[in-house]
Structure 1
Amino acid sequence: MHIAMWSGPRNLSTAMMYSFAARADCAVWDEPFYAPYLKYSGQQHPMQEAIFAKEETDPAKVAQRCIGPIPDNKTLFYQKHMPHHMLNSFPMEWVSKLCNVFLIRHPARVIASYARKNGEPSLTDIGLPQQAELFQRIVTDTHRVPIVVDSSDIRQDPAAMLAKLCHAIGIAWTPDMLRWQPGGHRSDGAWAPHWYPEVWKSDGFADAEPPIPDIPAHLQPLLDEAMSYYTQLSAFKIAPQAT
């Protein structure tokens, strides 16, 4: 099975990749379209030359690998994707062939976390419009509603929520997903030294998140707009109390 996990930045996405990588049956791929995005968008990001030197920059080749053979003789292929990496010129027909999951997080938490790491974000930086647009595209193309899970629910009760997520995907739950070795993963992208130092220190999911943070007044319009997209997606999320 090929699993595409669609997430914005600062959304627990790397910890989720490590969780799936801890399964004996799962290969993982870290942000397949990040290098093509940088090459064709004109954006300047940290470690850009190192990324181009290590990662595939041809979006067509990346797309083919996303639906191609699963590496390392595994039965699951977990792909950590960012919707805002998917430029309009990139192939998209492959997406409907995967099991698509959307990982969301309250925008106030995302904005606060992003600002601490990389300066104040724009709406496109946090990826919520792109998530919502891709969600609707998948619904239209497949006539199925993708799976949605909230990162805060996972941190509140990792075992229960990961079990529910695995059930929704159609795979067996294993407690191996709760722990991983600190220090990163061999599948980390070339950008990991800049973006992942904190999660490299972890060996499992962090404790439940604190209350939703206050956002400075000048960022309130950004939060208000982001909330409309988050609310759309949150309506479909796996409920913590679901059986």
Structure 2
Amino acid sequence: MQPSAHPIFLLWAHPRSMSTALERVMRERGDCHCLHEPFLYYYYIHLGRRDFPHFDASPDQPRSFDDIVDLIHGESRHRPVFVKDMAYYVMPEIMRHPEMAGQLRHAFLIRDPRRTLMSYYRLDPNFSCEEAGLEAQWRLFRWITALTGVEPPVVRAEDIQRDPRATVGALWERLGLGFVEEAFSWQAGEAPRDWEQMGAWHDRTVRHAGIARDPRADAEVRAEFQTFAGKAPALKAYLDHHWPYYLELSSRSLSVRG
């Protein structure tokens, strides 16, 4: 595969990790073409894993892994490209494409899974343990590190909420991007056109004019999750499964590593 004319930035997230808000910041920079979860079509439609709720698929969107990669590389001929996607969409298929993956500038976004599991369940009570997403992130992180010899940057949603400019600024520095102050605010109520296919998933980001903080303290979230999991026991099993992967990634976050 020929090298990209412009850099391609890939943010690997897990559901409800505040990834759409970080994508919105990237859109507001104005210097990258942004793609919103193109590999969702590969996982849910091409592979047919299950029907994804609150999703109106576009007939024009590529479905196969190779066609999606071609779309991304095609956009990079004209300008830098930022892609926000979920790691579980592409694992393990991406491991069959080391040359392609080695050309990308990867980053990872994580959030306390107690917060994300409750948020996910409210929108989709039938989601699977795989779709919680952190295991796939950790396995992808380890593979990229082995492939490139460099650990990709990891940021925590809680750190972005606490100090957006410092945390995102540190991420941009690691990715080779300059700081853009104007990227941290936008017009509330406006959504990019490609978010319309998944409107219910992004209501919170659309309603706000910048990064919104979660007012709940950790102790409150722990208590809320315990009560929530009493009504949805699968969530406790999902948390137990993904918690070690979350801790591995969290220990490597920019706020910890400095």
TM-score higher than 0.5: yes
Q: Deviations over 1:136-162 (max 9, x none)?
A: 110111111011000110001111111
Check if 1:161 corresponds to 2:167: yes
Q: Could you say what the CA RMSD is over the residues aligned between the two structures, in angstroms?
A: 2.1
Check if 1:18 corresponds to 2:24: yes
- AA aligned opposite 2:51: Q
Q: Secondary structure at the match of 1:101?
A: strand
Check if 1:46 corresponds to 2:50: no
Query: Which residue in 1 is equivalent to 2:114?
Result: 108
- How far did 1:63 drift? 1.2
* 8 Å Cα contact 1:51-1:190 kept in structure 2: no
Q: How does 1:140-159 map to 2 (within 5 A)?
A: 140-159=146-165
Unmatched 5+ residue regions in structure 2? 1-6
Against the structure 1 CA distance between its residues 65 and 81, is the aligned structure 2 distance closer, same or farther, given a 3 Å change threshold? same
Percent sequence identity over matched residues? 25
Query: Which residue in 1 is equivalent to 2:12?
Result: 6
Query: Which residue in 2 is equivalent to 1:81?
Result: 85
Give the structure-1-normalised TM-score. Answer: 0.89
Deviation larger for 133-142 or 35-44: 35-44
Q: Deviations over 1:185-221 (max 9, x none)?
A: 13x2453223222222121100255223132243333
Against the structure 1 CA distance between its residues 195 and 160, is the aligned structure 2 distance closer, same or farther, given a 3 Å change threshold? same
Q: Secondary structure at the match of 1:28?
A: strand
Q: How does 1:122-133 map to 2 (within 5 A)?
A: 122-133=128-139
- AA aligned opposite 1:92: H
- How far did 1:135 drift? 0.5
- How far did 1:53 drift? 1.4
Q: Deviations over 1:66-96 (max 9, x none)?
A: 334427x43x311001111115446533222
Check if 1:232 corresponds to 2:232: no
Which of 71, 92, 98 lines up with 2:97 in the alignment?
92
Deviation larger for 198-207 or 124-133: 198-207
Deviation larger for 150-159 or 167-176: 167-176
Query: Which residue in 2 is equivalent to 1:221?
Result: 237
Distance 2:245 2:216 in 1: 22
Against the structure 1 CA distance between its residues 185 and 8, is the aligned structure 2 distance closer, same or farther, given a 3 Å change threshold? same
* 8 Å Cα contact 1:33-1:81 kept in structure 2: yes
Distance 2:10 2:107 in 1: 6
Unmatched 5+ residue regions in structure 1? none
Which of 185, 190, 196 lines up with 2:192 in the alignment?
185
- AA aligned opposite 1:184: A
* 8 Å Cα contact 2:153-2:254 kept in structure 1: yes
Distance 2:196 2:65 in 1: 17
Distance 2:151 2:215 in 1: 27
Query: Which residue in 2 is equivalent to 1:198?
Result: 204
Distance 1:118 1:92 in 2: 31
Query: Which residue in 1 is equivalent to 2:3?
Result: none
Distance 2:196 2:66 in 1: 20
Q: Show structure 1 runs of 4+ deviating over 4 A.
A: none
- How far did 1:167 drift? 1.2
* 8 Å Cα contact 1:54-1:190 kept in structure 2: no
